[in-house]
Amino acid sequence: MNCYECAMRDRRETVAVASCSTCGAAACVEHVRVGAAVVHEHSPGNPADYRLPGRRLYDVTCAPPGSVTPQEAMEGTVPAS
Ligand SMILES: [Zn+2]
Ligand SMILES: [Zn+2]
């Protein structure tokens, strides 16, 4: 599969390394982002976010705040919870 962003933006064919966990689009190493899955709990007066174990991969369009590039992930930058 080829990267969706590369195909749409630049009409390039780049081999994808992941598919976005939100929209399912394929993303190359340049366009993939590494994040964490977060569950938002809405309880009256005490809303909370719980970070799930493991990682989630996103494309640049769907990357949530706190997600990082694969390079940053390799260097140990932990995605913000
Ligand atoms: Zn790409
Ligand atoms: Zn996506």
pLDDT at 32: 97
How many A from CA of 69 to the centre of ligand 1?
12
Indicate the domain borders of the chain.
Answer: 4-74
Summarised one tens digit per residue, pLDDT across range 46-69 is 888 888 888 999 999 999 888 999
How many A from CA of 45 to the centre of ligand 1?
42
CB of 31 within 8 A of CB of 2?
Answer: no
CB of 29 within 8 A of CB of 70?
Answer: yes
Per-residue pLDDT averaged across 75-79, rounded?
71
Ligand that comes closest to the CA of residue 61: 2
Whole-prediction pTM value?
A: 0.78
pLDDT at 16 over 90: yes
User: CA separation (Å) from 54 to 3, 71, 76, 78, 81?
Assistant: 23, 17, 14, 11, 12
